[in-house]
Amino acid sequence: MALLPTSNSLSPPLIAEVDMGGGSDSSSVIVRATVVQASTVFYDTLATLDKAERLIAEAASFGSQLVVFPEAFIGGYPRGSTFGVTIGNRSAKGNEEFRKYHAAAIDVPGPEVIRLAAMAGKYKVFLVMGVIERAGYTLYCTVLFFNPQGQYLGKHRKLMPTGLERIIWGFGDGSTIPVYDTPIGKIGALICWENRMPLLRTALYGKGIEIYCAPTAEAREVWQASMTHVAIEGGCFVLSANQFCRRKDYPPPPDYVFAAFDEEPSPDSVVCAGGSVIISPSGVVLAGPNYEGEALISADLDLAEIVRAKFSFDVVGHYSRPEVLSLTVKDHPQNAVSFTSASNIESQEKS
């Protein structure tokens, strides 16, 4: 399957002379970026990884040096599922659904992470990938970051799952809200509706984010207003990637049932309409939104636009009032269980 970029009139890449191993004046950098709008191969992690590599290769072939995938691309977004949950009860069928979903998730670190890192290195791209992370028996909606040297940089776990997501996904904490300082700008991500949390956005602004990635499962047109607001508020580029899915992209019933729908959708029914978009720091839509199907959506990001935008409004700079308003972020891990070794106990007793 060959996917064409929505913005297919892009000139040859303007970023060829950027040193991918070290930074200088970031405001002189122009970055070609692609957001991927495509569906998971549900319950088939290996096939999804194969699909991801084809898409990364295609994006790289027309000069992209940053590729952003949708929320839960590896592992799948379980749209329409209830996992048999009602207040006070869980069904045996729902428990089995969760077992299959858990099996499709990935360990971080793990073999799938190694393969994704290899893809980033092979195609020389910064890669931002939405995954379902398996940590023991708890799942997290997570974004992974990789650099063109084939290195895994780290992750962001969704801090606040939305609605029924809270039944199947654990909650992230302040230790996974990274912003990475790279030769193509400072890159970070929030996932879907946590982008609507003002204090969480402010934490990223405080870390100097310049390329703000927003993997999502939200296809309604109102999402565009949120993404435009974030771009203007943060004075940053916003790259929002969503899946485009039809019913036939999920397993057929009874293996997968859209229980939350009034009736089972037909195979060709669109169940997630995409809307992936790239927006400049001044709120100008550079590419997208696309509601037509699977696509690669690309734009050239002129980082000088960030400086121009922040001259008017710098939310954590000259427009902040820290003597009136301030934010404290607890950025250490929150562990349910901690252990003190015998040697530490002995040293404490001696002191």
| Sequence-distant (≥ 6) Cβ neighbours of residue 22 within 8 angstroms | 183
Q: In this structure, what DSSP letter does residue 195 have?
A: G
Structural domain boundaries, residue 265: 26-350
pTM of the model: 0.90
Q: In this structure, what DSSP letter does residue 242 have?
A: B
Phi-psi region of 235 (alpha: psi -120 to 50; beta: other; left: phi over 0): left
In a domain, 6, yes or no: no
The two most distant CA atoms of the chain are separated, in Å, by 71
| Strand-by-strand arrangement of the 185-189 sheet | 179-182, 185-189, 211-213, 237-240, 276-279, 285-290
pLDDT of residue 20: 42
Q: Which of 311, 312, 314, 309 is nearest to 279 (CA)?
A: 309
Q: Which amino acid is at 305?
A: E
Tell me: the pLDDT tens digits for 175-201? 999 999 999 999 999 999 999 999 999
pLDDT of residue 341: 78
Tell me: the pLDDT tens digits for 69-99? 999 999 999 999 999 998 899 999 999 999 9
In a domain, 64, yes or no: yes
Cα gap 1→4, rounded to integer Å: 10
In a domain, 291, yes or no: yes
In a domain, 10, yes or no: no
In a domain, 246, yes or no: yes
Q: In this structure, what DSSP letter does residue 350 have?
A: H
Number of domains in the chain: 1
b or e along 218-246 (b: 16 or more beta carbons within 10 Å of the residue's beta carbon)? Answer: bbeeebbebbbbbbbbbbbbbbbbbbbbb
- CA-based end-to-end distance of the chain: 67
In a domain, 34, yes or no: yes
Q: How far is CA 42 from CA 57, 79, 150, 250, in A?
A: 21, 11, 26, 6
In a domain, 262, yes or no: yes
In DSSP terms, which residues pair with 86 in a beta bridge? Answer: 89
In a domain, 135, yes or no: yes
Cα gap 218→54, rounded to integer Å: 24
The answer to whether 138 and 114 have CB atoms below 8 angstroms apart is no
Residues with active-site annotation: 71
- Stretches in the chain below the pLDDT threshold 70: 1-27, 342-351
The residue to which tokens 């950027």 are assigned? 18
Q: For the beta carbon of residue 254, count every other beta carbon within 10 angstroms.
A: 7
Q: What is the CATH number of the domain that holds 106?
A: 3.60.110.10
Cα gap 144→128, rounded to integer Å: 6
